[in-house]
Structure 1
Amino acid sequence: MDVRRLRLLLELSRLGSMHEVAAELGTTTSSVSQGIAALARDARTPLVEPDGRRVRLTPAGHRLAEHAVTILAAVDAARLDLDPAAEPAGVLRVAGFATGIRRSLLPAIDDLARTHPQVEVRVHEYEPGEALDLLARDDIDLAITYDYNLAPASWRTDHDVVPLWEIEWGLGVPTSQQRSPFTAYADHDWIVNSRHTADEEVLRTLASMAGFTPRVVHRIDALELVDDLIVAGLGVGLLPRGRTSRRGVTVRPLRDPQVKLRGYAVTRRGRDRWPPLRAVLERLAHG
């Protein structure tokens, strides 16, 4: 099989449109279509099928696109062995949570714009479970996720996981309230994340250790809205320490045990040989 045609198929799986593939690779839509058709003849099976006015990959097309990642990465690796100065180039799709994007990805993108301007990073905001589902479907190349020391993630065998950093979390309460032990909040309403269960698992673990069952009333995604509910007296919740909370909210430290959120960069095993992904991972790991 012609590796150039495999690259067409891979880019089609990433971008979803022959027109976008043509624009990305500097060719014509007709050439892309002809290349995919020739690849289908080589594979002796249809690789695309109509989807309205567009096309989508068949199951065989998806499988071959997965093989194309490994094949093209190996070709790129061979070229890099011969030309260490080869410039990373291409579209890199990243899904992650807001704090991870702000803290790790944006500085990496800023550095790449100066050092590797041919790498285009496309950013999508998702919670860890959502991002890992996208990674499993090859809809993204990199997931920036998190777990907690009291609610560790379960990684798949085909995941490569790079730890990034840790953030201490505490108990967000109205500033007007006196400092009290964790058990004093047994009869309060609680606020947890609406899109990820990990912080609720941490809360229930802490509450169980303190001898009570938390009354979870509110499920909120945005930390700023959690602040608003706390100020309004509608509940308390876990929040990161060191973050600038809304006036009227104090984040008390938690001890015995501490709560730490841990950030990660997650890829499919073996994919980090692709130069644009490797360039981003290097910056995330050393950021």
Structure 2
Amino acid sequence: MDVRRLETLLMLSRLGSMRAVAEETHTTTSTVSQQIATLAREAGTPLIEPEGRRVRLTPAGRRLAEHAVTILAALEAARLDLDPSAEPAGTLRVAGFGTAIRRSLMPAMARLAVDHPGVRVRILEHEPAEALSRLAADDIDLALTYDFNLAPAPLDRTVVTQLLWSAEWALGVPAADPREAAPAPEVFARYRDHDWMVNSRGADDEQVVRTIASMAGFDPLITHRADSLALLQDLIVAGLGVGLLPADQETLPGVQLLPLKDPSPRLRTYAVVRAGRTGWPPLALLLNLLRTNSA
């Protein structure tokens, strides 16, 4: 099978339309269609099927696109092995939550722009569950996710996970409240009659809240759900409840952070890729930069 046709099929699986592939490759939709048709004849099976005015990959097309990732990565690795001076090139699709994008990905992208301009990065902001779903569907190449030590994410043998960094979290409460050091269950117990706030797009911090609250002997009343930590602080200032916040971030006037220990909740951030994909030079390069920046 022709490598360029495999690249075209893989691009079609990622971009979703022949027109998008044509624009990306500076060709025509007719050329893209001919390449896919020729590849289908070589494979001996249809690779695309109509879907309204567009096309989609058949099950065989999706399987071949999966193989194309491994094949093209192996070819790129071989090319670099034979010519170590060859420059990695390609487009990386990365999905992750905002903090990891700002703290880890953007510095790595700045380094890539200077040292490896042939490697481009496309960013999508997603919470972990959404990012991992897109990774499983091969809609992205890398997911930046998180979990909490008190709510660990389940292990998945289909992916490779690289720990980037971790951060302590604290309980955000009104600034006028007493600040007394105590184990986390005792701190939580002071707020058993308060409304509580958790993330609206993920269940991890809610699990942490419920775990510590159960140790304190009560079931927290989850009243508000917000994706934005800034909004959560606004709600605390307005007296609408309490919730978990990063212990190392600055707070608004009117908000204070109560340290938590025994147990101490920690958010852990990961770079996640599909198993067998780490050999693709652009992805390996980005993973190395993320690891270095997190050291």
TM-score tier by shorter-chain length is over 0.9
1:49 corresponds to 2:55: no
Give aligned pairs, total: 287
Deviations, residues 84-112 of structure 1 (Å, cap 9, x unaligned): 12212122111100111111011111111
CA distance in 2 between partners of 1:9 and 1:53 (Å): 18
Which shifted more, 106-115 or 19-28?
Answer: 19-28
Aligned to 1:253: 259
3-state secondary structure, aligned to 1:233: coil
3-state secondary structure, aligned to 2:283: helix
What does 1:40-189 align with in structure 2 at a 5 Å threshold?
A: 40-180=40-180, 181-189=187-195
Aligned to 1:12: 12
Give % identity.
64
Aligned to 1:226: 232
CA distance in 1 between partners of 2:88 and 2:228 (Å): 35
Structure 1 stretches of 5 or more lacking a match?
none
For residue 233 of structure 1, report the CA deviation from its aligned partner: 0.5
Aligned to 1:195: 201
CA distance in 2 between partners of 1:51 and 1:246 (Å): 50
Deviations, residues 59-83 of structure 1 (Å, cap 9, x unaligned): 2111110011111111111111101
For residue 170 of structure 1, report the CA deviation from its aligned partner: 0.3
Aligned to 1:209: 215
Q: TM (normalized to structure 1)? A: 0.97
Deviations, residues 132-172 of structure 1 (Å, cap 9, x unaligned): 00100001110000000100111211110000000110000
1:273 corresponds to 2:279: yes
For residue 217 of structure 1, report the CA deviation from its aligned partner: 0.7
CA distance in 2 between partners of 1:182 and 1:41 (Å): 65
3-state secondary structure, aligned to 2:240: coil
CA distance in 2 between partners of 1:51 and 1:175 (Å): 57
For residue 183 of structure 1, report the CA deviation from its aligned partner: 1.2
For residue 26 of structure 1, report the CA deviation from its aligned partner: 4.0
1:282 corresponds to 2:288: yes
User: What letter corresponds to residue 111 of structure 2 in structure 1?
Assistant: D
3-state secondary structure, aligned to 1:185: coil
Structure 2 stretches of 5 or more lacking a match?
181-186
3-state secondary structure, aligned to 2:278: helix
User: What letter corresponds to residue 281 of structure 2 in structure 1?
Assistant: P
3-state secondary structure, aligned to 2:91: strand
For residue 21 of structure 1, report the CA deviation from its aligned partner: 2.1
